[in-house]
A = this chain, B = another copy of it.
Amino acid sequence: MAVALLHHLLDGNQTLHFLSKSSACRRPFTLRPIRVTMSHNQSYWTSINGEIEAHLKQTIPLRPPLEVFEPMRHFVLSAPETTAPALCVAACELVGGHRDQSIATASALHLMYTASFVHEQLPLTDRPRPKSRPMTHHTYNPNIELLIPDAMVPFGFELLAKADDPTQNNSDRILRVIIEIARAMGSQGMVEGQYHELESSSQWDNEEVSNIAWIEHVCKKKDGGLHACAAMCGAILGGGGEEEIEKLRRFGLYVGMIRGMSSGIGKKEKGLVRVVEELRNLALKELDEFEGGKFEAISSFVNA
């Protein structure tokens, strides 16, 4: 799971140069070549993902009731990768925060994303399977696959609330993060995206234009919303200013949409190449005022 997470984002030892447009920017946009070298960033992502995985293993030990915790641990450690938790930590560090301030939130994001994924795969009576969702192997029976995610989501919120540290006087930040994650996972985020994915999947093969609009909407609500929330929460926890928080939220939104379009529901849709390229430019614009080694690392997210 998490150990391998993100490695495929970095495509070899090459150096990439992104040049962004300035026309849509309110202030003059500096054209800046971004050097993304694998050797540097790989160790950065490996270290972040290692810490998230260690935190998850520590917080979900094999304790009684084993019938509940064993599948929870299995789901968490075998879920498909998402880059949102690592982005949360990277955003925290980009604004000058310490990694420890965001690891619990990154773990909670992984828990909730996993819960959402397991419910997506649940075999329901009379349920049509969207073509965008691959068939998956079911290790547990449907009751377990329904119940355990219902335990994982509250557990994620417990992790968030327990990150409150009186010595840091960070209650306000923690409560704000809880609200942001609740919105991203709920009725105007992930669940709305899942609803549209289910209800509209029958139109998948009909019209290319509406397909693209539909894919964009689903990616915005699902991967986009999750990554926007992750980056925003990392910036909040790291003590970023409101402008930095908003820039990282938009960066996360674009990056998440790129992820969804490149490796998720849009991966077979050739008409999205131009949209993805535009999203890359928009994402990089948001990083214009950040600097240093962490800037290089987080920039590599646009390279899905």
Q: Which residues of A contact B (CB under 8 A)?
A: 65, 67-69, 72, 112, 115-116, 119, 122-127, 141-143, 146-155, 157-158, 160-162, 164, 166, 171-172, 174-176, 178-179, 181-183, 185-188, 190-192, 194-195, 198-199
Contacts and interface: CB of A to CB of B under 8 A. Distances in A.
B155 A143 contact: no
Contacts of A161: 175-176, 178-179, 182
Oligomeric state, in copies: 2
A126 B141 CA distance: 8
Given A65-B187, A68-B192, A172-B171, A143 B127 contact: yes
Nearest to A221: B65
Interface of A is mostly: helix
A199 B67 contact: yes
7 contacts: A67-B199, A123-B124, A147-B191, A155-B187, A161-B175, A161-B182, A164-B175
A200 to B, nearest CB: 11
Nearest to A150: B191
A15 B198 CA distance: 56
Given A158-B183, A171-B175, 8 more contacts: A65-B187, A68-B191, A123-B124, A124-B124, A148-B187, A150-B190, A154-B157, A158-B186
A148 B119 CA distance: 12
A148 B190 CA distance: 11
A163 B286 CA distance: 32
A194 B123 contact: no
Contacts of A198: 143, 147
A191 B182 CA distance: 20
A135 to B, nearest CB: 14
* 10 A-B pairs with least C-beta separation: A171-B171, A158-B182, A154-B186, A151-B187, A151-B191, A154-B182, A124-B142, A161-B178, A123-B125, A151-B186
A194 B68 CA distance: 11
A42 B179 CA distance: 36
